[in-house]
Amino acid sequence: MIDLHNHILPGIDDGPATLEESLALAEIAVNDGISHIVVTPHIHPGRYDNQISTIQPALSSLQQTLVEKGMPLTLSMGAETRISTEMLTLIPAGLIPYLGSWKGEQVLLLELPHSHILPGTDQLIQWLKRHKITPMIAHPERNKEIMLSPEKLAPFIDAGCLLQLTAMSITGEFGAMAKHCATYILQQEWATVLATDAHNATHRPPILSNGLKAAAEIIGNRAAIELVTSNPATILGRLRD
């Protein structure tokens, strides 16, 4: 399995603080059947001022340690980018990493505020699409406005956005409303990727298998497996679009 959203890098955001904690996450992931993780530290201007130049050293260090320890886990660079006006400067400057590509466009993991859909989001998405960037909306099922009205995601789908669901949402570990919303998204066939959004070994571990099983009960085994194998592999360039 491939985990396309994971905060495994140490000391760079609200994920693990130390290398030892990162290695504990790596061990959990490997034991769960995850073979590749796209590291996605927060890029949230004013809070987590990350960019490629700050992510790369942390990524290289962890990659080297995994090799030295013989852990069968590979990593690549991405980021979870909070929607902001600063994006309009950071993206043209080449400071934000992409997850990969989808149908000839770069894929950007885009985080909405947790409380609502920010006014002007549709205009930002149009701007991204004009620049050949496809937004992948991170964990939309955990946005309070979307939880209340999941159908509000329809314009995002119509605009060409991809959706990433969190494994723990489908299993109910983020509450009944998030589970209901995630189920609706799966039933509408809107989800592109299922990921862990892991932050720590206790409350937010990198476990995909439980969410995969829960998703399979909703959409069937084959469709669920695509969310953690072929779809993320296509984005990473391991399969043709």
pLDDT for 238 equals 75
Q: What is the DSSP letter of 35?
A: -
pLDDT for 240 equals 43
User: Can you read off the two tokens belonging to residue 63?
Assistant: 């990659």
Q: Which residues in the chain come in under a pLDDT of 70?
A: 239-241
Q: Give the separation between CA 67 and CA 55, rounded to whole angstroms.
A: 18
**DSSP line for 111-160:** EPPSSSPPTTHHHHHHHHHHTTEEEEEE-GGGSHHHHH-GGGGHHHHHTT
Show contacts of 181-184: CB within 8 Å, 24+ apart: 181/140, 181/141, 181/142, 181/146, 181/147, 181/150, 182/141, 183/218, 184/150
Domains of the chain from N-terminus onward: 2-236 (3.20.20.140)
